[in-house]
Structure 1
């Protein structure tokens, strides 16, 4: 990207704030945000929100180290946890709540939304999988844990493309901005 994705803006709000507000507006009980590169700026964008912020001093090792830190900070009384990416600001509280509800109804080990056959986010995991996720290193993300689980992963077909839309390149960021502003799509706590 050439710029920290967390600090990219939509409607004068950084992506990290939009994603965090969406999660807070859902049925999630507790939110932990793991920061790394330019952590002062990222933390400043959400410091007034009721979240736990953890700084990953080893962020250069890859997303696995950040995910591992976040999982280690999970409350031991938790039954499940979701993993979010800062570059997916269109995932609404209603999508999050649907994923949580389905996870509970199916009694899944892990559940992942699908849009037109493509796996997306957020992924929800049973607390029993914390040790597998705590051991992640480098750029190894939750995808490796999902692969190992194989057919124990449940999938939920959704009709909202938001679960697969992310910002990985300047072109995808421009496409997202165009999509949001041309449709007046609801983002977080307001319409842009």
Structure 2
């Protein structure tokens, strides 16, 4: 069984948040903000190797990441899209990590048991990628073998990560999760308003 200490989390925090009109990672969400909630998720299952990729508004988020005690890296070419941030982040993962979660910062409602299910599925050693599914739809975060790091670094085809995941479909496993949070990315003010209404007094999302 692979342990949490063998897993890293790569959190993407470099985008412009154009549809929201404000910088999503620092928006309040219950007692936390988006980025703090995602970091807390990984720490709750024992994952401490957390790398956050910054870009747009880096000067605002870096002090928060420093306060939270997590490693950050800067993608100076974040305007090229999310895949450029993935490639930047992969370059800063530890060689001893077995795999890494890939998690955009605007998907803050994933549950800890979903991560645990993905780690358990990956531990069988049969697949290079484990993807969470809810009601037949893929969501975040996929768990990806570090053996694919070199492929990710060199991949230059259109479609970025979506194309790469499709290319490795035969080495991927879908993990069914009773967790609607894997699909809930917060893109617009309307999404954000709805999310705030669904935070319970105990700071849990009501799925």
TM-score, normalization by structure 2: 0.82
Matches within 5 A, 1:157-172: 157-172=176-191
Instruction: Find the aligned partners of 1:40 and 1:75 in 2 and give their Cα distance.
Output: 25
Q: Deviations over 1:133-184 (max 9, x none)?
A: 223569944222111112321000111111111101211111111112xx43
* Structural mapping, 1:3-152, within 5 Å: 3-105=22-124, 107-136=126-155, 140-152=159-171
Check the 8 A contact 1:71/1:134 in 2, yes or no.
Answer: yes
For residues 81-103 of structure 1, what are the alpha-carbon distances to aligned partners after superposition, in whole Å with 9 as ceiling and x for unaligned?
11011011111322212211211
Cα RMSD of the aligned pairs, angstroms, is 2.1
- Provide closer, same or farther for how the CA distance between residues 56 and 137 of structure 1 changes in structure 2, counting only shifts above 3 A: farther
Partner of 1:178: 197
CA distance in 2, matches of 1:139, 1:16: 28
Q: 1:178 to 1:146 in 2, by over 3 A?
A: same
Q: TM-score, normalised by structure 1?
A: 0.88
Query: What are the superposed Cα offsets for residues 75-122 of structure 1, whole Å, 9 maximum, x if unpaired?
Result: 111111110110111113222122112111253210000000010111
Cα distance change, pair 139–20 in 1 and its aligned pair in 2 (3 A): farther
Provide structure 2 residue ranges, at least 5 long, that are not aligned to the other structure.
1-19
Question: Counterpart of 1:112 in 2: which secondary structure?
Answer: strand
Gaps of 5+ in 1: none
Quote the Cα distance in structure 2 between the aligned partners of 1:58 and 1:128: 25
